[in-house]
Structure 1
Amino acid sequence: MLEITALSLPGVRISIIAAGIFFSSGLLTGAWKYFCIARSPVAQAPVYVDIAHRTSLLYSFAAILLAQFAALSAYSPAVNFWAAAIPLVFFGAAIFGYIVHGVLNDTDNQLRKPHKVGNTSLPRGSIAIFMWLLMAGEIGGFAVLFAGVLKRICETT
């Protein structure tokens, strides 16, 4: 469990703030999902309304995990900040994209080609580039925090 003193660490602070934003998004998209289901003749929300709801909730808990790892890491506050912030930005971007697709109800699979948002076609390769950056940012950021925690564990044993 995080201690109050850990809140002075920038990586912890940004992670806790993001967790609150993501959890709020999960609650709000949950209400949106319910209203869609209530109005639907088949009692079903659009695919990306459901995805936005579930990922917002999951990312809120992932942000708490990042906060805990940032608090425990042996690395500098600046390294831990960026290692937490980069995945959090990608989490937020994913949620935002899901919400946009939910509002537009324009697809049931955003990775199906041709890639579109509403009636607008996205530049060729843009989704692949975004996905590679997302994977590098999320996996890399967490790997740095995890390595920092492992370093701290090795130092204390």
Structure 2
Amino acid sequence: MAVSAETAWVLLAAGSIFVWALVLGVWKWQAMTTAADGRAHPYVDIAHRSALLYSFATAMIAIFVELSGWPAAVNATAAGAMVVMFVITIANYTRLGLTRETENQMHNPPPALRLVLAALILGEIGSFCVLLTGFAVEQL
């Protein structure tokens, strides 16, 4: 069964994020086995878990892309925006795990973080609402 090109790209992104999650899991395991308290740095753990969750969220997004009634460009743009935001988030958690500069990025955050978080919130929720509406229009 063939899927649309935009769905295939989203599924490729989901699979790539899942592989990233698996690699982060190895890092987390290695960190746990060498730490005195048996725990990885909090952001190593968060990066691993978020990558796992985002990989499955991205696979779910692919279903909505495939079943949406909107034009391919609308679906691809909405899905692409979410995937980019997921990747930025995982990359930031990975960076925080590597640098070990904080255990809570919300403690004394730089002023620009509020803008980044607002963009993430609006982009992810808005983009998914576009796909959800496209699904409802086409399927209901």
TM-score band w.r.t. shorter chain: over 0.9
Residue pairs, 1:1-157, within 5 angstroms: 4-6=1-3, 8-10=4-6, 12-115=7-110, 125-154=111-140
Q: Output the CA distance in 2 between the equivalents of 1:114 and 1:146.
A: 33
Q: Deviations over 1:6-47 (max 9, x none)?
A: 1x332x122112111110111001000000000001000000
Q: Which has the higher contact order (CA 8 A, sep 6+)?
A: 2
Q: Output the CA distance in 1 between the equivalents of 2:53 and 2:135.
A: 22
Q: Output the CA distance in 1 between the equivalents of 2:109 and 2:116.
A: 15
Number of residue pairs matched by the alignment: 140
- Give me the identity figure in percent: 36
Q: Output the CA distance in 1 between the equivalents of 2:20 and 2:107.
A: 25
Structure 1 runs not aligned, ≥5 long:
116-124
Structure 2 runs not aligned, ≥5 long:
none
Structure 1 stretches (4+) deviating beyond 2 angstroms? none
Letter of the 2:45 counterpart: D
Question: By how many angstroms is 1:153 displaced?
Answer: 1.8
Q: Output the CA distance in 2 between the equivalents of 1:137 and 1:112.
A: 24
